[in-house]
Structure 1
Amino acid sequence: IDPQNIQECVKDALKMCARKDFTSISFPALGTGNVQVSQVADAMFDALVEVVAKKSVSTLRLVRIVIFQTAMLTEFYNSMLKKENTDVQEEEDTDAQEANFFTESNKPQKPERFVFMDKEVDPACFHICGDSQAKVDEAKQWVKDLILKEQDSSIITDDAIINLTTSDRQRISNMINTMGVRVEQESSQDKLTIEGITKDVLKVTNEIQKMLQRIRSEEELSRSAELASTVVEWQYQQQGGQYQSFDLIHNFRLEQANETKKQHVEVTIQGRMYKVTLPNGPATDNHGNSLDIRRIDKAAHDSLPQYWDTMPDNYLCQSFPIQPGTSEHDEVLGLFQATCQNSVLKIERIQNPSLWRNLQIKKQEMDSKNCHQNNEKRLFHGTCPLIIDTINANGFNRSYAGKNAAVYGNGTYFAVEASYSADDTYSVPDSQGQKHMYLCHVLTGDFTEGQQDMIAPPAKSKSTTQLYDSVTDDPTAPSMFIVFNDIQAYPAYLITFI
C-alpha cells in the first residue's frame, strides 16, 4: 500500500458518506505498518481537504482519525496543523456542475411548468435483532405497517393548477419544507399528488384547494366581467370633456352595484380612490374633486324579447296582462294545465329588463362553462301574494324559499309540474281564495342530488373546485330544482288561479 492508495481509500469513504447522508465517520491510521506515519497522515488529510473543497459532502460534520499508538500522535497532529493553514479553494464537483447546468439558466424555461422539490431529510435506520429470522421478519413487518398506517396520499385534478401564481408555488414549497410532505405534478400539469403523514397531507391538500378556489373565483369574475362589458359600459369624464371607459372589473362592479340599488361604490381612477354616487354620479375623491360618469346600455334595443310591450323609460319593471286566445296565453296555459286542473283567472307577463339581462349574461357564462346549451328550463314556483311585487322588481330571493328548503338545500325551489306548486303550502291563497304561481326561466345547468342544509351546490368531484349549477331531488327523474344564485331564475309569467 502506498500514500496514493490511502488517499483514494479515504476519498471513496467520504464520498460514500455523501451518498448515504452520513454525518460522521471514523478512520484508523491506515497503512502505518508499511508507510511512514507522516506520509499516511498527509495522504489522509489531503483526501479530506480535496473532498471538502468540492462541497460534495454537505451532510458530513465530524471526521475522526483513531490512533492506537501514542508515538504516531505527533505526526498526525503536525500534518493537521499544516492543512489547517492551507487556503482551500472551493470548486464545484463535476456532478454538481452538470446538475447546475440542467437546473439553472442554461435550461430552457417554461413559465407554465413548475416543479416542487422534495425536502432532503436524514434517513432513519432501524437495526432489528432477534433470536430467529422469523421474529426479525415479524418485527420488520410490524414497523413497516406502523409507518404505512400513518402515511396517506391525495390527488388533486383541476385545470386551475396550471394557473397557480408564483406566490402560490412558493407557499406550497414552504409547506413541503416545514411539513415534510411530497408534492408531485403529473406531466399533464393538471394533477398534483400529495404524499406524507396523514394530517400533513390533509392540511396541504386543503390549502391547495383554497388556492384553486381563489383562482376559479378570479376566473369566474373575469368571465362575468367580460360578458357584462358586452351589455353595458360605464365611463368617466376626463379633463377636456372626453369620456374614458372603466376597466372590465370596475365596469362589472359598477353594474352589480347599480343593479342591487346601492347608493355608492368605490372605484380606482388613474390610481386615485373615488366614491361613485349611483346611478348617475358623480365620482368624488377625498379632496372633493369630482368627475362625471355615465352608463352606456349597449344592448338597450336588441337584448330584450321582441314580444315584450314597450315600457316607459322611468319604469324598472311592469306587468302586462296576456289576452286569452293569443298564442302566448295558450302556451303558458298549456304548460300549466298539463299537470294541474285548477281554473286559471289571468296570466300576466313580467317585464324587468335588468333581471332579464342578468339572466342572459349568466346563461352565456353557463353555456360556455358547461360546453352545451341545455342549461335552461321552464319551471313553476308557487308564491305568497304579499311578496309578488318584491319578486317582480327584484327577482327571487333565497330567504323566500319554500317549506322544503331544509330537505335538499337552502335555496330557491322550482317545480317541474304545476300541480306540485299549486299546493296551498306553496301557492298561499289570498283573502279572496285566489292563488298565484310563476312560470319561470331557470338556469339549472349541470345538476346533482341536493342534501339537507346545503347552502351552495357541491363540487363536481373531490379533486376540483368547479361546482354544479343547481341541485335536485332525483337526478334521474327530477321533480324539483333548487338554485342558490338568485340571478339564475327569472319570473316570466304570473298565473292567478283558484
Structure 2
Amino acid sequence: MNGRTKGFLAEHCPEHHTSGGIASTAQVPSGQIFTTPPGGFPCKAIMHVCGERDTSVIKTLAKEIVVQCEHGRYQSVAIPAICAGQGGLDPNVVAKSILEGVKDGVQGANLQYLKTIRIILLKMNVFLEFKVMAQQIFGGNKQLTAPAPLVPTSVASRGRSRSTISSRSGSLSVPHSIDLSSLVTALPVTDNTAPFLVIGYTDKEVSDACRELQRAYDSLCSTHSFYSEEIEHLTQDELDQLRSKINSLHLQLERISSGRWVVTGLKDGVNEVFRLIQGALLRQVREKDQTSLFTQVTWCILGPRGVWQKVPKEINYKLERNDVKDGIVDAQGVKWTVDLRKMEATACDSGQVTALKRLENLSDFSLPINWDNMSQNDHLKVIALDPQSAEYQTVKADFKKTVAKTVLKIERIQNMNLRRLYEGRKKELESKNGPPVGAGEKILYHGTSEVSCLSIMKSNFNRNYAGQNANYFGHGTYFAVNASYSANPTYAVPAADGTQLMFVARVLTGHYAQGQANMKTPPVLVTPDQYYDSVVDKTQNPSMFVVFHDCQAYPDYLIKFK
C-alpha cells in the first residue's frame, strides 16, 4: 500500500476460510474502486480505493464496496477506517461516513450473498468512536459492556495457521432506582465479540502471538470488589456518577455473592469507580462523625439580634477540629473568619465581629442554647446577665409591660438536674396530649422571698408550701400571667432594703381546668386514669395557673427589682 491507497479484503466461497490483509502499490483515482487478485493473502480479492480525505467520497465508497461485494457474490468484506489513520481525519467523522455508506448500501441492495461486513479498527480511540456512531446510526439496543478475557480459537486456512481472538462479556443494565438490590441487574450472557485475526505460518507462531495479545490485554485490565454496604448509602448524585462511569468507561459490574460485587474493565476505568466509592465511604464516615459530635458538643454563634444560633452540623465538626483556616459559613449562609483564641468570628463582607461559644452536652441532656457551658460536676450556675445583652433586654421588656418598678439585676438559673427533669416531663406531656395542645409551655411569673429564693434555685418550686399565701384554686404552685400580680408584696416579699425578687418560670400547662380550693391534683379529664395537667383561676382568658407536679415548672430567670 502506498500513497493514498487503502486495501479492502473480500471473501467468497464457504470452503475457503479466509483472513484479511492490506497490501498494494496500486494508484487509484479518487472515488473509484480498483480490484486485484489477493496474491498471497487468504482471501478472494483485494479492493483498492482512495478517500481523498473527503467525507462524501468516503461515504460513497463504503456504499459501493457493499454493492460490488454483493454483485461479486462475496460472503464477507473487511473495511478499514478510511483516512482515520495517516489520512488524519477525525475518527468520529470517518465513522459517520463509513457507517452511513454501509447502511445505504445494505438498504439499497437486496443482499443474498453478502452476510458479514467487518470494520477493521487498529486504535482504541477509533474503535470507541465507531462503537458510539454505530449505536446512533443503526439504532442498536445492545448495551455498553466491559471487556472480558480473550479466547483464542485455532483455524486452518490454505496451509497457514491463524487464530480468532474474541472478547465476550455479559450485558448489564443499571436502573435508576436508589435501592441497592436493583442497582445492577445481570442479563443473560450475550455475544458481544471483538475478533482479532492472527495469521502465521505455524501453529506455534500463532499461539505465541495469542499469548502476547492476552498478556497485553490482561496488563490493561483489572478488577475491584466491594461489599453492598459500601454503596447502600450513596447519594443520588453519586449513584448517577456510578452509572455514568460504568456506561461511558465500558465497565462490567456484577454480583459475585449475596453481599459482594465486582467491577471489571480497563484499569483507569476501574480505578475511577474505586475512587468514587472510596470518596463516598469517606463522606459517610465523616457525616457519621459529624452527627455523633453534634449530640456531644454544640458550637454557637451570636446572631445579629443578639440571639445565639447553632452552626450547621458540618461547621460544628470543623470548629471542634480547629479546621477553620478557610473560614466558616453559618446557617444563614454568611461567611466568617474565626479566631478561636478569642472565641470571635468576623463577617467577611461587613467586618462585623460577633461571639462564639462551645457547649458540652450530657448523654441524656443537651444544654439550652442560651446557657453558658457547664461541666458534668456543675449542677447549678447562677449567671448575672449583661444589661446590654439582647437576653437581658428581652426579659426586662416583658417584665416592664405590667410593672413600673426599676429592674436592678437579672440572673439566669442554670440547674442541670432540674432542667433535665423539666425537659423529660415536657416530652411526656407532648406525647400524652399530642398536637395542638402538647405540653402547653408558657412563660409565667412567681413572686418569692429572699428566704425561699435559694431553695427554689436548688430544688425547684415546692407545692408543699402551697397555701402559705392563698390556695383559692388548689394545693399546688401558683404562677401569674402578668408580672404585676407576682410583684405584689404579699408574694414578692420585700427585703430589709426594700428590694423584691421574682422568678420568670417556664411552666407546662397542657390541658387545664377550673381550679377549686380543695384540689390536691387536677380533675379527671376523660377517664379515671386521664387527668388535666393544670388548673386556672378562670378557663376563659386565665390570669393564674396552678401545677401539682414538681417537675412541671422551671425557674428560668430571677429578677431583682425595687
State whether TM-score is above 0.5.
Answer: no
Q: What TM bracket, shorter-length normalisation?
A: 0.3 to 0.5
Larger radius of gyration: 2
More strand by share: 2
TM-score, with normalisation over the residues of structure 2?
A: 0.35
More helix by share: 1
